[in-house]
């Protein structure tokens, strides 16, 4: 009987030993796996932040990669060289990503050492976090035209106007007499193209094009811009200054002279350009944005460099032989009065759009 009891004691010790291993195993799942989850969350935050930071320097790949790595290191990642492990951490930054210069991918890896799980023969776990950020600039197909009427017609009243670029009028284009268009003239199937006496189109006449939507990025301007309340605030902000970012104005404004820079000037109402005062230079590429109202360019001898944009109104150009816009006119309706007004679209016109960008995590 005593020998039997001793054998039971031995069995109890064996059972207890197995129980202790099981308890240690549960500790591994409860503590070590908890640590892995915490590290995973932390690593994802680092990857997200690094990708967003690197995206600010796109499309310059080398600068974007360096920024992402620096930002990740500042936030606790030990990966300080692209694709090379250090102290168990690795960061790999790829841009262009999938061939897109506006996307950047950041992959962070970290080795998490186990404590209790070692009794189960498990020493460590590799944790990975990935983030892809895309940069979206303001713009759209409408900005590919010198003149664009997204909800109506382009009407070149008078005669002898010159357009250096293509024209789109959803409901039609009337070129007037003696007009010269160095580009295509486009409308939808419901519109018509009318070329008066002596008008020349050095491109295609397309009368069955699909409708092109009018972009709207007013929220982006307000989010990123300096907010002005009315004309006086606006004058104080722009007079003698260089505008290289967005300015958001509550109300109507009148532009009385040159505004330097490549930024965006947004008015919640109308924008009027005073006669003979807009004497921009080739280095100025302002986007003038009348959000809900009309825009009137009283050209006279004025020269505008940039984009006139009235997505919900009419742009009226009261021209003269010396009225020139080096840029683009984009609105619901476009109307030219007078004669010999000129519009020349150039690649630099779109520089102002690059000041309006939005970075977004897409993966």
* pLDDT of residue 4 exceeding 50: no
Give the span between the Cα atoms of 233 and 288, in whole angstroms.
Answer: 17
C-alpha angle 42-115-25 in degrees, rounded to nearest 5: 110
More confident position, 40 or 223: 40
More confident position, 141 or 356: 141
Give the span between the Cα atoms of 49 and 91, in whole angstroms.
Answer: 13
Domain ranges of the chain: 2-135, 141-357
Residue range 200-215: mean pLDDT, rounded: 93
* pLDDT of residue 363 exceeding 90: no
Region of poorest pLDDT, from 141-145, 166-170, 231-235, 255-259: 255-259
Q: Give the pLDDT of residue 37.
A: 85
pTM above 0.95, yes or no: no
Give the span between the Cα atoms of 308 and 174, in whole angstroms.
Answer: 20
Residue range 94-132, pLDDT digits in tens: 999 999 999 999 999 998 887 766 666 677 788 999 999
Q: State the pLDDT confidence band at 258, using cuts at 50, 70 and 90.
A: confident
Residue range 157-171, pLDDT digits in tens: 888 999 999 999 999
Q: Give the pLDDT of residue 14.
A: 58
For residues 54 and 95, is the Cβ–Cβ distance under 8 A? yes
* pLDDT of residue 1 exceeding 90: no
Three-state SS at 41:
helix
Residue range 47-64: mean pLDDT, rounded: 92
Give the span between the Cα atoms of 224 and 266, in whole angstroms.
Answer: 12
Residue range 136-163, pLDDT digits in tens: 778 889 999 999 999 999 999 888 999 9
- The long-range contacts involving 54-62, CB below 8 angstroms and separated by at least 24 positions, are 54/93, 54/95, 54/104, 54/106, 54/133, 55/104, 55/133, 55/134, 55/135, 55/359, 56/359, 58/95, 58/101, 58/102, 58/103, 58/104, 58/135, 59/95, 59/96, 59/101, 59/102, 61/95, 61/96, 61/101
């Amino acid at each position: 009987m005593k020998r039997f009891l001793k054998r039971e004691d031995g069995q109890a010790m064996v059972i207890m030993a197995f129980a202790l291993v099981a308890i240690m195993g549960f500790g591994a799942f409860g503590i070590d796996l908890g640590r892995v989850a915490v590290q995973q969350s932390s690593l994802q935050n680092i990857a997200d932040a690094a990708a967003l930071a690197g995206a600010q320097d796109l499309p310059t790949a080398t600068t974007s990669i360096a920024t992402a790595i620096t930002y990740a290191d500042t936030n606790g990642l030990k990966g300080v060289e692209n694709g090379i492990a250090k102290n168990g951490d690795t960061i790999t930054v790829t841009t262009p990503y999938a061939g897109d210069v506006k996307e950047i991918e950041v992959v962070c890896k970290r080795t998490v050492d186990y404590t209790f799980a070692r009794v189960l023969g498990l020493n460590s776990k590799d944790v990975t976090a990935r983030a892809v950020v895309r940069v979206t600039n303001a713009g759209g197909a409408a900005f590919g035209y010198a003149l664009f009427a997204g909800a109506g017609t382009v009407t070149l009243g008078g005669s002898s106007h010159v357009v250096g670029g293509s024209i789109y009028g959803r409901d039609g284009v009337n070129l007037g007499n003696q007009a010269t268009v160095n580009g295509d003239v486009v409308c939808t199937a419901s519109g018509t193209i009318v070329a008066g006496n002596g008008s020349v189109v050095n491109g295609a006449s397309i009368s069955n094009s699909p409708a092109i939507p009018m972009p709207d990025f007013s929220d982006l301007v307000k989010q990123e811009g300096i907010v002005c309340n009315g004309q006086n605030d606006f004058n104080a902000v722009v007079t003698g200054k260089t505008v290289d970012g967005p300015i958001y104005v509550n109300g109507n404004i009148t532009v009385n002279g040159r505004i330097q820079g490549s930024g965006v000037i947004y008015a919640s109402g109308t924008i009027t350009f005073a006669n003979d005062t807009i004497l921009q230079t080739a280095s100025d590429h302002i986007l003038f944005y009348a959000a809900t109202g009309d825009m009137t360019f009283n050209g006279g001898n004025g020269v505008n460099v940039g984009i006139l944009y009235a997505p919900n109104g009419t742009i009226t150009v009261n021209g003269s032989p010396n009225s020139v816009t080096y840029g683009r006119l984009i609105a619901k309706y476009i109307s030219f009065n007078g004669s010999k007004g000129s519009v020349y679209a150039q690649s630099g016109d779109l520089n102002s759009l690059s000041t309006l960008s939005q970075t977004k995590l897409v993966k």
